[in-house]
Structure 1
């Protein structure tokens, strides 16, 4: 598990628009928000990402770059991007299970129509120097933080110069 105030692992991921996203190349004003999602098979993920789509401008206004990443294949991720209402969210795919474990994500074995192995949800807020500021990990598809709560937290953090917590 990565603790707050620790450097996040380097992450280089392919995007559905045929470009490569690299964590160390990010230069947000305040934060990078990485949303790890389970994949196209997950209706809760669809709802979450479509909710994020509605709030992209609110994150941008606060100096936050966003990306959503899964372990789905390129074909599945491109279908996700085409079928879900998420046009303004950079969508990464092909996260390896080993990389997911470096981030402390929970891994599940597929049942029914799910992939053989996939990541459970995780949200990371990183400072511009790729230090973990805030993380929220789930072992189930349920109980994810609401984006209104995340935005409210960011507002407080920026106003109060609140430090990262959970490092001890």
Structure 2
């Protein structure tokens, strides 16, 4: 059983390895950014993930203009992640090795592979976690299938609007928990 993270919650401390071999802590922005968008994707076996990662690369500058760092992560092995990188043209960090315990801590849906040809491990369904400068979840979006994910242009524009101090936009959706 997983616990779903709520808007406003502290983002859990989760360490993974990126494609450069660096240990990274998800939700901790790099390179002077104060927010980070963590994109959880299914893995190399998913053609929709490949397309989404390529689209995300096209929006990197818009996220940067909003002051939001981006990272993508899956439960793939290093070898699977390297195969994925031959199919994408990314300009942001891609990490691998998300464990089942970490997936549960994030509250993402977890799927069992349909066959060994699909993949050799349980994997996370898509999730997006936008972590603000306090380390809290400002935006949360999880899906139980690869067909439902945030539209990246709308997301980048929305984050730019949220980050504008003139808008004084609070974390939304905190009442029900």
TM-score range normalised by the length of the shorter chain = over 0.9
Greater mean deviation of Cα atoms: 114-123 or 65-74 = 114-123
- Indicate the SS of the match to 1:59: helix
The equivalent of 2:145 in structure 1 is 140
The equivalent of 1:77 in structure 2 is 81
Distance 1:67 1:24 in 2: 9
Preserved CA contact (<8 Å) 1:109 1:118: yes
Which of 54, 57, 61 does residue 61 from structure 2 map onto? 57
Say whether residues 1:15 and 2:22 are aligned partners. Answer: no
CA deviation after TM superposition for structure 1 residue 29, in Å: 3.7
CA deviation after TM superposition for structure 1 residue 143, in Å: 1.5
**Which structure 2 residues correspond to residues 140-159 of structure 1 after superposition, within 5 A?**
140-159=145-164
Q: Structure 1: any 5+ residue segments left out of the alignment?
A: none
TM-score w.r.t. the length of structure 2 is 0.89
Preserved CA contact (<8 Å) 1:35 1:67: yes
Greater mean deviation of Cα atoms: 21-30 or 138-147 = 21-30
- Indicate the SS of the match to 1:83: coil
TM-score w.r.t. the length of structure 1 is 0.93
Higher helix share: 1
Distance 2:101 2:29 in 1: 22
The equivalent of 1:167 in structure 2 is 174
Distance 1:89 1:152 in 2: 19
**Which structure 2 residues correspond to residues 4-153 of structure 1 after superposition, within 5 A?**
4-23=7-26, 25-26=28-29, 29-86=33-90, 88-112=91-115, 113-115=117-119, 116-153=121-158
- Indicate the SS of the match to 2:59: helix
